[in-house]
Amino acid sequence: MSEKALREHNVLSESERKNESTNKGSLMNNCTENGTENLQGCQKKSHASLVPSIADGDHPTNGGGEVGTLEIEYIESENLTDVKDVDAALKSISAGLESKDWLLVCDTLNNVRRLALYHKEVMLDMAGDLITLLVKSLKNPRSAVCKTAIMTSTDIINAYNDQLINFLDPLLVQLLLKASQDKKFVCEAAEKALVAMTTWVSPTLLLPKLQPYLKNRNPRIRAKASVCFCRSVPHLGMEGIKAYGIDKLIQTAASQLSDQLPESREAARTLLLELQTMYKKSQDLAPSSVSDFSEMSSWEDFCQSQLSPLNALSVLRATGSARESAVLGS
């Protein structure tokens, strides 16, 4: 190749390299610009998808903005106002609670609460269907719906108490489940509903409903049921305990003393101390005659007569009996 031709070839190659570099630079700029747009688009999409999650959030606030429009307010019972149109609110319950719009479900649940507080007589005839729909909301995976349904359960229990007994089973199991879960604000609301149940539902009706859950496979459910059982028994009073059978109550409490969870064991100890007090009080009221609770003259003798030696020893220890060592020799 001649020197002139070589110079022309080099000039041409240098020109091609510059053009290629220029094209690459333009291409990179376009990619960067497009990448920025795509990144911004992705950020917008991520923010949009986050809104329902925040709206469902475990800690609702009264803040404004886009997120605030999807949040709900958990209204305490004392702050609920009356419905404007009773008939309209009553007719909308079924459709509202079966809606796929979770905000509408929450609004309807709050209307149910208002009706229970201000017009409870109008919902009494539909109590069975109402509990079925309420249980459906309690099973809703959205926390806002679940908590509002639990608050509705509390108001319904307060309003109808013993009138709900025939429909109580599905509601009771859901409240025990919700009180046993890890989500704190749902758990606390369920605990409040269970307290209302043990306060306002007659123990003679409630205790048989609780009994099966004391043997549930789930230790947390057993523990919550044990606490409810313990909380309900004192409402029987002395005469009610006699009628129900103090022997049955002691046997039930004794079985819970060896439960897996401390909460259940502590509830059993509390119940046994209550029963011991009742037993001794009955003897004090009739010192010259045989106790209505038992033919035995002492708490220790009574426990030994009703329980196995091992369970009797556990009960006497739990109640601080001075004669617990006597059981070992029996």
End-to-end Cα, the chain, rounded Å: 121
Q: How much is the average pLDDT of 24-43?
A: 43
Neighbouring CB atoms inside 10 A of 298's CB total 15
What pLDDT score was predicted for residue 59? 39
pLDDT digit string, tens, across residues 112-139: 999 999 999 999 999 999 999 999 999 9
Residue listed under structure tokens 């060896």: 258
For residue 150, pLDDT over 80 is answered with: yes
What pLDDT score was predicted for residue 145? 97
What pLDDT score was predicted for residue 49? 31
Q: How much is the average pLDDT of 104-110?
A: 97
Lowest mean pLDDT among 43-52, 164-173, 276-285: 43-52
User: How many whole angstroms separate alpha carbon 212 and alpha carbon 169?
Assistant: 11
Place 279 in a pLDDT band, splitting at 50, 70 and 90. Answer: very high
Provide, rounded to the nearest whole percent, the portion of the chain with pLDDT above 90.
68
Provide, rounded to the nearest whole percent, the portion of the chain with pLDDT above 70.
72
Q: How much is the average pLDDT of 30-53?
A: 39
User: How many whole angstroms separate alpha carbon 258 and alpha carbon 308?
Assistant: 14
Mean pLDDT of the chain: 81
Place 284 in a pLDDT band, splitting at 50, 70 and 90. Answer: confident
pLDDT digit string, tens, across residues 223-245: 999 999 999 999 999 999 999 99
Place 72 in a pLDDT band, splitting at 50, 70 and 90. Answer: confident
What pLDDT score was predicted for residue 73? 84
Radius of gyration of the chain (CA): 34
What pLDDT score was predicted for residue 14? 52
CB 154 within 8 A of CB 125: no
Within 69-165, where are the H helices?
A: 86-91, 93-97, 102-118, 127-138, 143-160
Q: How much is the average pLDDT of 155-183?
A: 96
User: How many whole angstroms separate alpha carbon 15 and alpha carbon 96?
Assistant: 74
User: How many whole angstroms separate alpha carbon 100 and alpha carbon 235?
Assistant: 41
**Structure-block tokens of residue 23:** 């094209």
- Residue from 313, 308, 311 nearest 328 by CA: 313
| Run of H or E including 177 | helix 168-179
User: How many whole angstroms separate alpha carbon 164 and alpha carbon 126?
Assistant: 11
How far from the centroid of its chain's Cα atoms is residue 112's Cα? Answer: 19
For residue 99, pLDDT over 70 is answered with: yes
What pLDDT score was predicted for residue 283? 79
What pLDDT score was predicted for residue 36? 42
Q: How much is the average pLDDT of 16-22?
A: 50
What pLDDT score was predicted for residue 69? 46
Q: How much is the average pLDDT of 278-295?
A: 66
For residue 196, pLDDT over 60 is answered with: yes
| Residues 6 or more apart in contact with residue 89 via CB below 8 angstroms | 83, 111, 114, 115
User: How many whole angstroms separate alpha carbon 311 and alpha carbon 189?
Assistant: 35
What pLDDT score was predicted for residue 287? 54
Q: How much is the average pLDDT of 167-178?
A: 97
pTM score over 0.95: no
256: three-class secondary structure by DSSP: helix
